[in-house]
Each structure stands twice: as C-alpha cells, then as structure tokens.
Chains A and B, each alone.
Chain A
Amino acid sequence: MAFPDTVRRSYQTDIEAIRSAGLFKEERFIHSPQSASIEVEFPVGSPPRTCINICANNYLGLSSHPEVIAAAHSGLDARGYGMSSVRFICGTQDIHRELEKRLTGFLGTEDTLLFPSCMDANAGFFEACLNDQDVMIADRLVHASIVDGMRLCKAMQDTFKHSDMGHLEEKLQEHQDKRMRMVITDGVFSMDGDTAKLDAIVALAEKYNAMVFLDDSHATGFIGKTGRGTHEHCGVFGKIDVITTTLGKALGGASGGCVSGRRELVEMCRQRARPYLFSNSVAPVIVAGALKVLDLIGTSTERRDKLEWNARYWRARLKEAGFDVKEGDTPIVPVMLYDAKLAQDFARDLFDEGVYAVGFFFPVVPKGQARIRTQLSAAHEKHHLDTAFEAFKKVGEKHHILGLGRKELMALCVA
C-alpha cells in the first residue's frame, strides 16, 4: 500500500479543480422504482420528496412494468442470479442465444451478440473489425463511447460536420484509397434529440463503397412506425451493416447492449472484441426481462405511439410558452439556456418546484450550449406533463427568459 499524503493531495487538487470549474457531479438518491414520478432525496439527508421525472431514458415506461418484473422474477428462479463467467467459458445460457435471435429479428439484421453494455459494444467493435488499412468516418456528435472505441482502433480516424452530407461525401472521396471505409453515426443524437439523415448516409455509403455503423441506443424500441429504430424511420431497414444498441434505455432500462449486423462482423466481435471476451455475461434476470420487453413491443405499438404524442405535446407547450427548444421530433427535447450557471440554477429551481431535470453544460455539450435536456416517457400521463410545464413556466418567468431567442439568451448570459 502506498498512498502517501502527496498523492492524496494531488488527487484532492484535481477534484477541487473540477469543483471550481462548476463541473462537479453529484448523485441524487432515489427511494422508489424508476418511473414518471419518483421519490428523491436531495440534498443528501433530506426526507425524500415526490418529483416528476423528466430526465430518464425510460422512453417506453418499461423500467418498472409489472410484466417485465414478473418475467425477471421467473428468469431469476429458472436460471439463477449470475453466471460467474464470461460468455465463451461457461457463461452462455439458452436464453442468451434466444435474446440474440429475437434482437436480430427485431432490428432486421443477420446476427447479434450481447455485450455487458452498449458502451462496451462501442468500445470493442472497431478494434475487432477494422485495421490500419481502413478508415472510420464519424459524425462529430457521436456518443463518447464511440469516440473511445475509435481511439482503441488502429484504423485512420476522420470526422464530418454534424449531419453535413456534403462534408461526408468529401471525406468518402478523400478516403477511396483505403481498404475499407466505415461511416459512423448515432441514430438519434442524445444531446440535441435530432435524427441522423440515415437514408442519405446509406446512399452515400453505397455510392462510395462504405459500411454504415449506427448506434441506435436512443431510438431502439420507439423510433420508426413499429419502433425498430432510425433505420425504419428513414426507410433503410435491413440496409445497415452494424447496429449497436442498449437494453438500458427503452428496452427495460436495466443494462446490457449488443452489436447486431452482418454475420461476419458479429463473428469478429465474438472472436476478438475485448469487452465481450473479458467481461461477464449479461445476468439471466436481465435477459429474461428483455425477452418480455420484446414480447410487449412486438405485439403492440401503443407505448411508442403514446410516447410520440407526449413528445409532440410537450414540445408544443414549451414552444408556445416562449422557450428556446431545439427542433426535432424525438422524445429528447432540449431547452436551450446557453449559459452553464443558468442551466444549473434552472435545474435547481425546477427541483424546488417538484420537477427532476438536469442541466447539461461543457464538456458534455459544446461551450456556450448549456441546456436542460428533457426526455419524455410513455409512463408520463398528460397531468404529469401539465404539472411539469407549469413548473418550467414559473422558473422561466423567474429568470426572465421566456420569449427570448438564441442571440438574446446569449447576450443575457454575458450580462
């Protein structure tokens, strides 16, 4: 053991620097299951209070659905608590393979491999499938886990301006000398809530002989007419070479992710992706719950339809009240405030009004782009949204920001 005072002080200085930069993150303790309405202890030691939750990835409201919970209980009884193994030693049960087959059918791909999380799927995929003769061309706003995965891979890295198809085409032309090209994008971008121009991306990929990689974590289960994802929404279902996605958001929200796509790419991950090879199997209880989620969303679009209505209603009310809301048609509705301090104050005031939302600022979003990211759920009833809206309006009036556009809001920050 060697943790002398000098080492401790060094870390304390780093932590203090994070705090003084206003970037210190604190957890809030929730005393209830995940839902539209939750019991939150904040600050630490306070009695829990009921809040409307408008910042969860619980898009379909299935995190605490009774049928999912019952299926998880059955899975626990039938297949146990843990596997105590990675997949390829003695960690693969029949239900793991069953879930992979079901996801393959749902996503319209050739094969699927489960990972402990989508973070792990993204971290492991590129190194397993590409080498130094190849190039990865990513949208600049892809998720951090993709950035990490690309950094672990020896293929050349390049980026294109967010959703700028002209710029992507230039990059594809520039890299025609590479063995393989892979265009990398999120389906729905988590911070802005906009959707990738996946039809145009697929067309360019076909024109320039490139593969398409799609992280559809913020889309699987609810984007598209039957909730298959961004590829269904954009009319390119069955044309995506690799989809990574998560069980940790709309599909029950527990944990787990997958790589789903061309048979050979999935097999390369099974053979080489380090997070798959060196991390435990997804727990049987989660697999059993996820299978039930696929049953539920495979037989009815009711939940994604309700989510779509909620998102449209919420967005319209905020805009009518004069908030600066990012354009889009997904359940991610960012309320732009631009200033980091204002975003933090706004979130704190919302909490005082019984609404749980979080301010996002640099480095999670670009500097000067601070916001409150609101996320809708099929678990929200209209009365939840109306109550939350009144709180937003009250806090907006308090900070004198209603009716102000981008430039005025930014000027307000400087002042």
Chain B
Amino acid sequence: MARTFLRRTALVFLLFPLAASAEDDSWLTRSGYYRISYKSELQPIEINRIHSWVVHVESPAGEPLLGAEISVAGGMPLHNHGLPTDPKMTTEIGSGDYLLEGVRFHMNGYWELLVTIDVGGKRDTVIVPLNL
C-alpha cells in the first residue's frame, strides 16, 4: 500500500509540470493565446458517470472570448488508452462559457485532456491534467 502511495505521489509530481502551466485551476494554451478553466457538473468528479462541463475561455488578460470552437480528446497516458466517450461542445452559453457534454471517465488515476480552442481561425491547444 505504501508502495502505491509513493508511486502515485511520484506520478503527480512528475507529470504536473509537463502538463500545463496551471494558475488557480486555469490553464494557458501552448502558444499563449487563451486561458481556459472548467467547472464540472459533478462535484467531485466520479468515475463511470456521464456528465457535462462548462468550459470558460478568455484572453490571457482575462477578457471572456465569444465564438470559440472547442474540441476535446485525451486519455490516460500511462495506460495508453483514450477517453471512453467522445465529448462535444454543444452550446455557447455566453460570457466566454461553453457547454461540453458527454464527459465520462472509467478509471481512477491520472488523465490528460487535450483541449483545442479556435477563435476566428486562431487555434491553440492545452493539456489539462486531471487526477481521479
């Protein structure tokens, strides 16, 4: 049990810096065009339950961005498998908020979500880490 604890702890420290620059649960995209954050319908997130997220997109200066196209892929890098569902952005709620539906995780452990944001043809990506 202690071994697993050490393994998990090591994992978090090893992977976190690689994933994204996180500040207050928000993530700056790779080229620095956008900053995103999200709120899950499920608090805390549970495995095996399909649910939705509200993704917030803003400029690095903190201005909410409208008209964004968001796509999400991802998986568990250590298990070499993807997400069990194909989540989709379905609604632009307004004020930089977007509804992402069809999110589900089927294992506890370390997940990475590759989020691609496109505002007016300017595209950027970010990896959002998630430990369940």
Q: Do A and B come from one complex?
A: no
